[in-house]
Amino acid sequence: MIKSILLFAFVFFSLFFLSFSIHQNYLQSIEVLLPFSLKKVYLFHFGYSLLICINFILLSTVDKIFEQLSFIYLVTIFLKIVLFCVIFYNPIFSEENMSFTSRISLFIPTIIFLLTEAISVAKILKKKQ
């Protein structure tokens, strides 16, 4: 179990480091200033996705909860969206004319970490069965 946790931590940290670096370098090369901190967006997704995967590794060992993990995952996705909107309320909702680049810069980390998180949770659930 500790090996799995360390593996997921390594995967998510590598994903954070590579995708943030590439994204930041690209935005600097085209000289775009975002109305929010791109690093904070990536850190939010990194932390939340890692937390979900670690909790699912731990919860997959409890037989009573294992059958409900797919429903629990749906709730965690909903909570992730709500928390993201609460934390990044000002850049998302108060910015009247947010540029296309800014919108995409919010969307890219969400998709990257959501796909990785979904694949990770699927592997955890498949491994148990």
- For a pLDDT cut of 70, what percent of the chain falls above it? 98
| Per-residue model confidence (pLDDT) at position 99 | 83
Domain ranges (residues) in the chain: 2-128
- pLDDT tens-digit map of 55-76: 999 988 888 888 888 899 999 9
Contact of 29 with 126, CB cutoff 8 Å: no
- Least confident span in 14-18, 41-45, 97-101, 121-125: 97-101
* pLDDT at residue 49 greater than cutoff 90: yes
Provide the sign of the torsion angle of the four alpha carbons 51, 54, 57, 60, taken in this order. negative
CA 105 to chain centre: 14
| Per-residue model confidence (pLDDT) at position 93 | 75
* pLDDT at residue 95 greater than cutoff 70: no
| Per-residue model confidence (pLDDT) at position 20 | 96
* CA distances (Å), origin 122, targets 21, 63, 125: 27, 17, 5
| Per-residue model confidence (pLDDT) at position 33 | 87
